[in-house]
Amino acid sequence: MPLLTPAQLATLSDMLTFCRPHGTRTDQFFRDTYIHPLPGVWEDSYGNLITSIGKAPRVMWSSHTDTVHKTEGFQTVHVDHAKSTIKLSKRSRRHSSCLGADDTAGVFLMREMILAGIPGLYIFHYGEESGCIGSGDLARFSPEILAGIDFAIALDRAGYRDIVTSQIGRTCTSQAFTDSLSYALSVASKELPMFAGARGVYTDTAEYMDIVPECTNLSVGYFNQHSSREYLDYAHVGKLLSALCTLDQSSLVAKRDPAVEEVRETRIISRRSELPLWSRDVRADHDEWGWCTRCEAYIIDPLDPDYLTWTHCTCEQDEWDEYALSKDLNYGEGHLSDEDRAFLRYLKGL
């Protein structure tokens, strides 16, 4: 089983001690410590950190440096070598809102790939958790940075095996590409079966769907994201790192035409009366626009219905996890309707 070296595991564990909400001093300290010293890194006008390896790379690797911690600072983590996992320590779980493997895992993977000299355009995005700020600005005002890029691959997905094929209700990949990527990953690592067809919600590569032919997101091994029960399977991180470092990029196929508007796959849901029946009961403490009367936060952004900006409150996290576990929904094997199952995946970002 390809595992991280002790030095790599120590680095990953240390990176996870940073609580870095968007735009905070801790976020900047993290960037200065782990990304700015990498070869050729420069910062664009929108806060993204960028470097390139090789001549005319066709692949853009994506991650984001911010986390959804409620407050900045530092936390302690526990490494369980028996289970190959990293999670919050018991002490930190009392005050920290999440582990932050979303997307520290992706940042770590890209950092190690750069140090290993793997070809590609690398973009560490700014403010993804606050609405894909850095990627959105780059796509609108500096698309030339992506010239020659055929594949935008985010390392920012929960679970073990997903290759995302749609985001914000639009198809973001071709079947030829996802087949070629799945096969290339299986050749690079026999222990890493990854399958196309997962629906994504919204990450940085969604901003590039009108520019780059193939835009996707790969599972990097974190679970229970955006909660204090979040954990990271570092064995999966090791397997994925090994596969990405030996991936035959020349075998990837680009077929999707970004100039062709795709039909939206999901309808817009903007009022609680339109939610599936099971979720209306769970969300009893939310008004029709999703305002939580317990923690005073929106679960739907009424000003941004087109993007279906879903979050879930801290006070309702237990209900979501309990429901998902009771229906065994990690890989969509529950007994819900297709509509309800897709909706739950939207909410939990599985």
Residue-averaged pLDDT of the chain: 80
- Is 19 within 8 Å of 72 (Cβ atoms)? yes
* Whether pTM exceeds 0.85: no
Report the distance separating Cα 9 and Cα 233, nearest Å: 11
Residues 194 and 332 in one domain: no
Work out the pLDDT band at 213, boundaries 50, 70, 90: very high
Residue 208 has a pLDDT of 96
Residues 155 and 46 in one domain: yes
Residues 118 and 246 in one domain: yes
Last residue of a domain, one of 221, 251, 281: 251
Residue 298 buriedness (CB in 10 A; 0-12 / 13-18 / 19+): middle
Residues 128 and 53 in one domain: yes
Residues 14 and 155 in one domain: yes
Residue 346 has a pLDDT of 54
Give the CATH number, domain containing residue 109: 3.40.630.10
Average pLDDT of the segment spanning 271-281: 35
Q: Is 264 part of a structural domain of the chain?
A: no
Residues 245 and 283 in one domain: no
Q: Is 335 part of a structural domain of the chain?
A: yes
Q: Is 227 part of a structural domain of the chain?
A: yes
At residue 313, the 3 state secondary structure works out as coil
Highest mean pLDDT among 135-144, 255-264, 313-322: 135-144
Q: Is 263 part of a structural domain of the chain?
A: no
- Is 17 within 8 Å of 77 (Cβ atoms)? yes
Q: Is 224 part of a structural domain of the chain?
A: yes
Report the distance separating Cα 213 and Cα 126, nearest Å: 22
248 to 185, 218, 220, 245: CA distances (angstroms): 8, 16, 19, 9
Work out the pLDDT band at 334, boundaries 50, 70, 90: very low
- Is 84 within 8 Å of 235 (Cβ atoms)? yes
Q: Is 78 part of a structural domain of the chain?
A: yes
pLDDT digits (tens, 9 = 90+) for 7-28: 999 999 999 999 999 999 999 9
Residues 219 and 283 in one domain: no
Residues 217 and 293 in one domain: no
Q: Which domain holds residue 282?
A: 272-348
Residues 229 and 276 in one domain: no
Residues 207 and 280 in one domain: no
Residue 194 has a pLDDT of 75
Report the distance separating Cα 126 and Cα 137, nearest Å: 10
Q: Is 256 part of a structural domain of the chain?
A: no
